[in-house]
């Protein structure tokens, strides 16, 4: 574990918001924009997070055994107003349960996350609600062609693979569905939800299902939007979902299939910089209205080859999650995130591609 603290010492008299996630930069930025002081526990302690946060603790994982000592230090030295968790924490219900004993946790409880991760029970509930989803089973298919193996708990598609082996404990089989992979960002108060926006998203490649990017999609078919709204009405009420979250689905041109719920602030949160989404996450309500008609897109750039981030690399202002200097990145490791804003979806995607090429041309 490494600790990165800025000058000024500990401030018990000042209220802070504690962020815990695989990567805490996006939430730290939201906390900073809302006028609060962020403290961050995450796996990367990248340059942007260090610049935003008052203190950063870099840890190897988010298990309670790993972060317990950090939490005890924070309890002794800081007054925490809220704890906001992000990517990865939805798969650590034990950690979440311990954190709820120490802090006021925004968003969904450990119990809700456990319910969503219990795939056998969750699929049965989808059946009761008549919510369509790709064919899924816990026994190996007779013919594995066209089937995936998916972990019960995964973040951003990591661990999802083609069915070329037997599923292990904590994994299941799901038939691959062709179509437009999409998501909706929403805010809920445990009873009702407000939709913030629809998106299309993509993975690294046809054989690598790791999340790679997302763009706003304002012209999704009306019938698809109506279907997803109906799903959310049932799921939010039944599971008492709270705060910012997203629902992933596939639209094949005729049918819409549910994929999963991310019960914490997702990457699409970054596509709405004009909205006070931190307050929306805490209260379950959206207070301000966004009049910005621009189309925002976000992409993660992964290393095509092993490389080292040196001090002379000039990062553009539209890049984020920049690794620490002298970080050695293996092939397929995330390098950084980039964001683009244009008038149309096509222009935004073209801008993302150009910016990706700029980063790669200068880095390699």
Q: What average pLDDT does this structure show over 197-219?
A: 95
Q: Is 127 in the same domain as 100? A: no
**pLDDT higher than threshold 50 for residue 10:** no
pLDDT bin (cut points 50, 70, 90) of residue 154 is: confident
Q: Given the DSSP bridges, would you call strands 136-137 and 171-175 parallel, antiparallel or unpaired?
A: antiparallel
Same domain, residue pair 31 and 99: yes
Q: In terms of domains, do 54 and 181 share one?
A: no
Q: Token digits for 140? A: 């190996």
197 and 65 in a single domain? The answer is: no
User: Per-residue pLDDT tens for 30-67?
Assistant: 999 999 999 999 999 999 999 999 999 999 999 999 99
Handedness of CA 283, 102, 247, 303 (dihedral sign): positive
Choose one of 86, 106, 126: the last residue of a domain: 106
If one compares 290 and 178, the residue with the highest pLDDT of the two is: 178
- Where residue 12 falls among pLDDT bands split at 50, 70, 90? very low
Instruction: Return the pLDDT at 14.
Output: 58
Q: Please list, in sequence order, all residues whose beta carbon lies within 8 angstroms of the beta carbon of residue 125, skipping any fewer than 6 positions away.
A: 238
Domain that holds residue 37: 2-106
Are 147 and 209 in the same domain?
yes
Alpha carbon 287 to its chain centroid, in Å, reads 22
Exposed / middle / buried, residue 342 (Cβ in 10 Å: 0-12, 13-18, 19+):
middle
Higher pLDDT, 212 or 10: 212
Distance from C-alpha of 297 to C-alpha of 342, rounded to nearest angstrom: 9
Joined together, the tokens standing for residue 214 give 């997302």
Q: Is residue 123 part of a domain?
A: yes
Q: Are residues 91 and 22 in the same domain?
A: yes
In a domain, 78, yes or no: yes
**10 and 128, same domain (yes or no):** no
Q: What is the CATH number of the domain that holds 63?
A: 3.40.50.20
User: If pLDDT is split at 50, 70 and 90, which confidence band does 290 have?
Assistant: confident
Confidence (pLDDT) at 6: 57
What is the band of 8 on the pLDDT scale with cuts at 50, 70, 90? very low
Of 275, 241, 278, 276, nearest to 261 by C-alpha is: 241
Q: What are phi and psi of 207, to 5 degrees?
A: -110, 0
**Whole-number average pLDDT of the chain:** 94
What contacts 14, CB < 8 A, 6 or more positions away? 37, 79
Residue 30 lies in a domain: yes
Same domain (yes/no): 274, 166: yes
290 domain-assigned: no
Q: Is the pLDDT of residue 282 over 60?
A: yes
Q: What total of structural domains would you count in the chain?
A: 3
Q: Is the pLDDT of residue 112 over 50?
A: yes
- 33 in the same domain as 130: no
Are both 102 and 119 inside the same structural domain? no
Does residue 288 sit within a domain? no
- 313 and 170 inside one domain: no
**15 or 163: whose pLDDT is higher?**
163
Say yes or no: 52 and 200 in one domain: no
Distance separating alpha carbons of residues 355 and 340, to the nearest angstrom = 8
What CATH number does residue 180 fall under? Answer: 3.30.470.20
């Amino acid at each position: 574990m490494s600790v990165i603290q800025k000058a000024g010492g500990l401030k018990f008299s000042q209220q802070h918001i504690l962020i815990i996630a695989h990567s805490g930069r996006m939430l730290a930025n939201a906390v900073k924009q809302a006028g609060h002081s962020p403290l961050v526990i995450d796996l990367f302690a990248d340059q942007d997070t260090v610049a935003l946060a008052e203190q950063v603790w870099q840890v190897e994982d988010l298990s309670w055994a790993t972060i317990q000592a950090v939490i005890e230090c924070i309890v002794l030295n800081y007054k925490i107003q809220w704890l906001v968790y992000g990517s990865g924490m939805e798969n650590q219900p034990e950690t979440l349960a311990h954190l709820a004993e120490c802090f006021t946790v925004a968003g969904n409880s450990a119990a809700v996350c456990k319910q969503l991760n219990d795939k056998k029970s969750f699929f049965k509930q989808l059946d009761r609600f008549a919510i369509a989803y790709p064919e899924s089973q816990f026994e190996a298919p007779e013919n594995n062609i066209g089937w995936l193996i998916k972990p019960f708990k995964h973040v951003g598609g990591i661990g999802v693979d083609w069915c070329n082996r037997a599923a292990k404990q904590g994994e299941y089989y799901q038939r691959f569905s062709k179509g437009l992979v999409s998501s909706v960002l929403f805010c809920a108060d445990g009873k009702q939800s407000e939709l913030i926006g629809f998106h299309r998203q993509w993975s690294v490649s046809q054989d690598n299902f790791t999340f790679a990017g997302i763009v706003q999609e304002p012209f999704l078919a009306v019938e698809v939007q109506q279907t997803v709204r109906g799903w959310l009405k049932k799921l939010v009420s039944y599971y008492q979902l709270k705060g910012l979250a997203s629902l992933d689905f596939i639209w094949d041109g005729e049918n819409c299939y549910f994929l999963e719920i991310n019960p914490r602030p997702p990457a699409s949160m970054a596509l709405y910089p004009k909205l006070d989404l931190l307050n929306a996450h805490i209260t379950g309500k959206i207070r301000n209205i966004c009049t910005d008609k621009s189309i925002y897109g976000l992409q993660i750039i992964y290393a095509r080859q092993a490389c080292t981030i040196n001090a002379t690399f000039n990062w553009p202002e539209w890049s984020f999650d920049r690794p620490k200097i002298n970080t050695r990145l293996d092939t397929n490791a995330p390098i950084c995130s980039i964001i683009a804003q244009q008038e149309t979806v096509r222009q935004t995607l073209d801008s993302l591609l150009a910016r990706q090429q700029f980063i790669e041309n200068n880095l390699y």
